[in-house]
Structure 1
């Protein structure tokens, strides 16, 4: 896959899947816009690891309604065009219905959808408008296995990702005439820096047992699927949802 001089915007790019995706695209010649919300130190570290030149940090809270337009505008003003948009940023909030009060419950739903669905829909809107003017482009949205199997202690997370899948496929149909391709990657639990810090030994062991491979996904494996959907040869795969969960959850 060759992405020489392609302009790629990646949200949530300072760590984990976003970081691995940025490195993978940069290794193939792309110029990367790294979006992050608050962790400037981590974003700078990722920027320093990217091979090649022309990469740029874009600090923006995309959960705010105006944030999406501002981010796309800043990116296009800097690079001149947007070729590939990777919507990776997302949040996951514990809200077990047996344990939390109503205020926590409603707050979890509101904040999860604000970031995991509404922010991405806004980015798709402004990103697609830009791509229409330039003759096309690629949008890849990062979903989750939780959209299909359910998330008992974080139902808003599973619901937001299921809605993201549906929105992505609707846009794949609508935007095809503009040469804009939409793809989705649905990872299982992924071995990130955050997972290493937050998982207890028991939780880690349970996660390892979920897959017949007896391990979690690596960020680079998710990045590989993202790059495929963004590649020139994958245009007819628009509307596709790629599972990257190590056969831990199989859907028909």
Structure 2
């Protein structure tokens, strides 16, 4: 798929992997809607990207609420006429999760990381079927959708579900020319995942990656662009993890 002229939604697009993905799409000529819970951050991201002449807009969204996601898709269609691509990237991270798991904690993670993917895919597919030209769904999974980690029960469960949701949706909608793939990052350098924020734990994370460093948001965005552009790839989850899951 050529990205020029296509309309893409990127949830969690105000920072990190989402922002890098929005920027990568815009550089290839796409029109982008940044969906994010952080209103201030989303507006700042929109303004920053618009300075380069990009066709981008921000929509405030809570992906754990179906009505909010439906409104985001409706706003996209109102602004740009259609949805060609959605990147279900918004999520709650694993860092900070404690070993004392409560149902409230579990449900919060599932609501964002798993339900958010369902809502995003559902409402994007409705529009893709309406315009009849197919489309692409990319889900942000994680290495922890394939391997376990102590203290991350809910996160593991949510990302494992994303991997299988990706396969199932790809099978169900292939005949409609809708491709569904996922990207599974290792630990990626962001504001929350940095030497300054994590101290010695940062070094422990680095040691888990055979390449000897953490990932960069742009590297994950590059994989997402590949999954969008390559029309012979569907139903797969690509590991972008510095070798983490090879061990």
d(CA) in 1 for partners of 2:203, 2:39: 29
Calculate the aligned-residue CA RMSD, in Å. Answer: 1.7
Does the CA contact (< 8 Å) of 1:27 and 1:52 recur in 2?
A: no
Does the CA contact (< 8 Å) of 1:151 and 1:157 recur in 2?
A: no
Does the CA contact (< 8 Å) of 1:29 and 1:52 recur in 2?
A: no
Deviation at 1:2, TM superposition (A): 4.4
Alignment match of 1:96 (pick from 91, 98, 112): 98
* Partner of residue 236, structure 2: 240
* Partner of residue 47, structure 1: 46
Matches within 5 A, 1:216-231: 216-231=214-229
Matches within 5 A, 1:182-221: 182-196=180-194, 199-221=197-219
Q: CA deviation digits over 1:31-74, x for unaligned, max 9?
A: 1101111341x223322332333211111112113112111111
Q: Secondary structure at the match of 1:152?
A: coil
Q: CA deviation digits over 1:147-192, x for unaligned, max 9?
A: 1111211210011000011011000000001100001000000001
* Partner of residue 128, structure 1: 125
Q: CA deviation digits over 1:108-149, x for unaligned, max 9?
A: 110011011112101111111110111210000000000111
TM-score where L is the length of structure 1: 0.91
d(CA) in 2 for partners of 1:39, 1:192: 19
Q: Secondary structure at the match of 1:124?
A: helix
Does the CA contact (< 8 Å) of 1:92 and 1:154 recur in 2?
A: no
Q: In the alignment, does 2:71 pair up with 1:70? A: yes
Q: In the alignment, does 2:27 pair up with 1:27? A: yes
Deviation at 1:92, TM superposition (A): 2.8
Alignment match of 1:143 (pick from 136, 141, 151): 141
d(CA) in 2 for partners of 1:80, 1:198: 43
* Partner of residue 116, structure 1: 113
* Partner of residue 154, structure 1: 152
Does the CA contact (< 8 Å) of 2:77 and 2:83 recur in 1?
A: yes
d(CA) in 1 for partners of 2:195, 2:5: 36
d(CA) in 1 for partners of 2:148, 2:77: 37
d(CA) in 2 for partners of 1:246, 1:221: 11
Given the superposition, is the C-alpha separation of residues 212 and 184 from structure 1 closer, same or farther in structure 2, using an over 3 Å criterion? same
Q: CA deviation digits over 1:58-93, x for unaligned, max 9?
A: 111121131121111111111101011001000035
